Amino acid sequence: MKGSTAKKLHMIGNAHIDPVWLWQWPEGFHEVLATFRSALDRIREYDEFIFISSAAVFYEWVEKSDPEMFREIQERVAEGRWEIVGGWWLQPDCNVPSGESFVRQGLYGQHYFQEKFGVKARVGYNVDSFGHNGMLPQILKQSGLDYYVFMRPGPHEKGLPGRLFWWESDDGSRVLTFRIPFEYCTWGKELDKHVRRCAAELKAPFDELMCFYGVGNHGGGPTRENIESIQRLDADPEMPQLIFSSPNRFFRSIAGQDLPIPVVHDELQRHASGCYAAHSGIKQWNRLAENRLVTAEKFAAIAKWLTGQPYPHDFEHAWKNVLFNQDHDILPGTSLPSAYDDALYLYGEAMAIADRGLNYALQSLLWRIQMAPEDGLKPIVVFNPHTWEVCSNVELEFGRYDDSYRLVDDEGEVVPVQLVQSETTARGRNRLSFLATLPPLGYRVYRVVEDSTITVEAAPVDATDHVLDNGRLRLELDPERGTIAGLRDLRHDVEVFEGPAARAVVLADSSDTWSHNVFRFDDVAGEFTATSVRRVEHGPVKSVIRVTSSYGASTLIQDFTMYAGLERIDVHVTVDWREQFK
């Protein structure tokens, strides 16, 4: 018999499931059901066995497709034989999503677990995410998660004071955090090698450690051979005590001891950094969907309070689409190509829901704006979804607008307007560009009036093919290289850059999607060279210099835009990329 003070390995039976990776989500759906069925069978066969699983979306899949299995899981959770971890909708990438998305992961995940199982998770659980941003401890704590389990980055990628530490964010929030040794899953039937490796990690002052086992990635979970090998190894007097356990039990045991646990105040980075440059489309769709939903929700809430417009019931569904696509193998760009067709459909549905809800809200609000009758009046209402004042360029498609028209703001001041390229070539349609100063979370009403006698005063940007100067900033472009030759803050007489800046450098990169064990991308293969530098737009609102460059068979177009009176330069970049291993 091993004494009560013997070293312990908490054996954590799990099945890491990638709902999408080298397969599409319907296959992931099937693997969830098959894995959960297997786990329930093992619980029935072995009295000591405990199973853990995260990701609320997996449980929802089971609930909707196999209610009988779902009820069985509920019973096992109530018994303590099946433990819910994670508390989030699924295991997302932990770098790219917005802060609002991380909060929604916890909001919808914890609500689901509380509603369906009467419990909330206490252990944050992102074992396969490629890195973890430094503000997660605050979000985890506010989501009711006191502990955190991760595996990547490994010791060769990020040095830490130990497997167990307090992870602290900038606001002082702390979560007790554990880095999994070696693997979160096992493929062999016998666990001797894996268990002995984990046992070797038991080092003073810690007499307890977690050891994760079970077939994973494509699901599977602990096998009979896994469980029986643990029972056999536990009988070996040379081995530490092996107990079927869970992260909750491990952390409770550690928290009950007076141990010198170090504090880490840092991001947990960096693993597979190559994926963050893979599949730019998924990153763009994600940010568009996040921003549209936040905007729609703000104005939907305002409209409900002010006009009684019904609040849309489907925002939660839209958010769950976005949260699912933030999975650690979808959003980084590491899944197979057909999976991104599925992701696009989910993002499309989410954005359509956001756009519909936003339109109902804004229409409800603007139809209640009181305006004095005026012949020929054409109002333009511009809304600001931010909680701070914004001064920005506004562009919109409009009807006929010629020299006889003027734009007037709500204070009677004439606003300079510039006609820019319309999306349509039909006659009678124009695209207007003007600068608007907008109140926080509010709107301004502008009026288009037909009165050519009104004088328009404008101080346009001083612009040539190579220089933009609005009295606040002066941008100079090298006509031969197409790079920034100089950017001066005229108000403070400060040169912003030293030497040629904003160079489009081409790097040699023979690594795969993940770029495992690649920590620097600095093998310069060449750079784009300018083929054209010229002014393409100029008017009372803005001026644009377009730099067209080439490298090999690829083309780069950069539009540098300066606005009259704004301390801001926009650079719109389009790349037609046709190179390989670069």
Q: Which two tokens stand for residue 580?
A: 């390989």
**Predicted TM-score of the model (pTM):** 0.95
**Pairing mode of beta strands 414-415, 529-538:** unpaired
The residue whose two tokens read 């956001």 is 354
Residue 56: both structure tokens together: 């609320």
pLDDT score recorded for residue 201: 94
392-418: per-residue pLDDT in tens?
999 999 999 999 999 999 999 999 999
Cα–Cα distance measured from residue 311 to residue 378, given in angstroms and rounded to the nearest whole number: 29
Whole-number CA gyration radius for the chain: 29
Instruction: Check residue 360 and give left, alpha or beta (phi > 0: left; psi -120 to 50: alpha).
Output: alpha
Both structure tokens of 380: 């333009």
How far, rounded to the nearest angstrom, does the alpha carbon of residue 298 sit from its chain's CA centroid? Answer: 20
Between CA 108 and CA 103 the distance in angstroms is 9
Contact 97, 331 (CB under 8 A): yes
pLDDT score, position 542? 98
Which residue type does 332 have? P
pLDDT value, residue 465: 98
Q: 135 and 99 in contact (C-beta within 8 Å)? A: yes
DSSP character string of 65-126: H-HHHHHHHHHHHHHTSEEE---SSS-B-BSSS-HHHHHHHHHHHHHHHHHHHS----EEEE
Residue type, 220: G
Residues facing 53 on adjacent strands: 84
Which residue bears the tokens 């023979």?
A: 510
Using left for φ > 0, alpha for ψ between -120 and 50, and beta otherwise, residue 364 falls in alpha
Three-state DSSP at 405 gives strand
Q: How many CA atoms lie within 13 A of 511 on its CB side?
A: 19
- Identify residue 557 by its one-letter amino acid code: I
Nearest to 89 by CA among 132, 53, 57: 57
Q: Report d(CA 390, CA 410) in Å as an integer.
A: 16
Residue in the structure block whose two tokens are 């606005």: 563
Residues 6+ apart with CB under 8 A from 559: 536, 544, 545, 546, 547, 570, 571, 572, 573
Contact assessment for residue 384 and residue 441, using Cβ atoms and an 8 Å cutoff: yes
| Whether 90 contacts 52, CB under 8 Å | no
Angle between helices 56-65 and 67-79 (to 10 degrees): 130
pLDDT value, residue 505: 93
Q: Which of helix, strand or coil describes residue 14?
A: coil
Residue 522 CB partners (closer than 8 Å, separation 6+): 507
The two most distant CA atoms of the chain are separated, in Å, by: 100
**If residue 202 lies in a helix (H) or strand (E), which one and from where to where?**
none
pLDDT of res. 374: 83
> What is the Cα–Cα distance from 459 to 468, expressed in whole angstroms?
13
Element (H, E) at 9: strand 8-13
Q: Which of 55, 121, 126, 56 is nearest to 95 (CA)?
A: 126
**Which of 504, 432, 511, 60 is closest to 274 using CA atoms?**
511
SS3 25: helix
Q: Determine phi and psi for 340, rounding to 5 degrees.
A: -80, -20
Structure token pair of residue 454: 């009104």
Positions in the chain whose pLDDT score sits under 50: none
CB environment 367-391: b (16+ within 10 A), e (fewer): eeeeeeeeeeebebebbbbeeeeee
Q: Which two tokens stand for residue 399?
A: 């009807």
Distances (CA, A) of 492 to 460, 484, 561, 565: 21, 19, 21, 15
Q: What is the pLDDT of residue 298?
A: 98
User: How many helices, marked H, and strands, marked E, lie in the chain?
Assistant: 11, 28
CB 325 within 8 A of CB 343: yes
Neighbouring-strand partners of residue 546:
534, 559
* Helix, strand, or coil (residue 243): strand
Strand 542-551 with 378-384, pairing: unpaired
State the Cα–Cα distance between residues 214 and 375, nearest whole angstrom: 75
Length of the chain: 582
Nearest to 250 by CA among 146, 132, 120, 136: 146
